[in-house]
Amino acid sequence: MSAFFARRLSREMLDLLPCDDPRAVRSRLDIHRLNDIMGSARLIARAMRQHAASSLQHRDEQPLRLIDLGCGDATLTLGLARRLAGQWPATRLTLLDRHDVVRSDTRDELARHGWHAETLSMDIGDWTTRADLHSRWDMAVANLFIHHLDTAQIKALFGALARRTDWFMACEPQRGPLPLLASRGVGLTGAGAVTRNDAILSVQAGFRDFELSGLWPAARADWALQESSRLISHTFTAFRKPSAQP
């Protein structure tokens, strides 16, 4: 890989702004549109149907336990609920983020779909390392979040996910010439200055090829990994093989 396309991690403007700053509020709205363009909820929901349905058949109608890492305002999670409530009408949802910016109407609609949410406000590093967190989840998702982490942080997170979940999917920016070109044009979607800046940084910190697969814990014989890129999105899925589930 040429040095030009080497991964470069930078602090994004949205991470530096107070949650109630008007620029941050606008940027979260911009991200809704970008998620629609990337098709993140559709991609994750399809993967959940394809892989998780068969691997969770042993659960005997118990509520699905799902955690959304770096959930933001939970708009993507709501998109999953709208698509999957018919399949999993009772879901115990954990929304993890440093700041709770989930609106009450979003929580209400999640509840109407049978997805009852609790908020876990903490840094991902704390969630990864805290020994007192013994909870397990059937599934974990992350959207436009893993690219904020450096290699050591990703390895630590993946280790925690391998211990605490049976299925994980991340939808991230793809790093390459076409996504970089697209990131420079997000202003055409009406995006504000924060999003125009952060879109470029997100692509530069994104992933390609099988970079994330290489960071999954080395003892992974019990796991199946899938990683691919399409247009501007890069997805990574890890699921515990049914024969290896606890």
Per-residue pLDDT reduced to its tens digit, 23-74: 999 999 999 888 888 889 999 999 998 876 555 555 556 788 999 999 999 9
**What pLDDT is recorded for position 5?**
81
Low-confidence stretches of the chain (pLDDT < 70) are 1-4, 52-61, 131-134, 219-220, 243-246
- pLDDT, residue 54, reads 57
Identify the pLDDT of residue 1.
Answer: 45
Q: Interior CA angle at 241 toward 244 and 206, to 5°?
A: 125
Please state, in angstroms and rounded to a whole number, the distance separating the CA atoms of residues 87 and 13: 38
Going from the C-alpha of 204 to that of each of 43, 72, 137, 157, 234, the distances in angstroms are: 22, 21, 31, 21, 13
Supply the CATH number for residue 227's domain.
3.40.50.150
What domain range is 81 assigned to?
3-244
What domain count does the chain have? 1
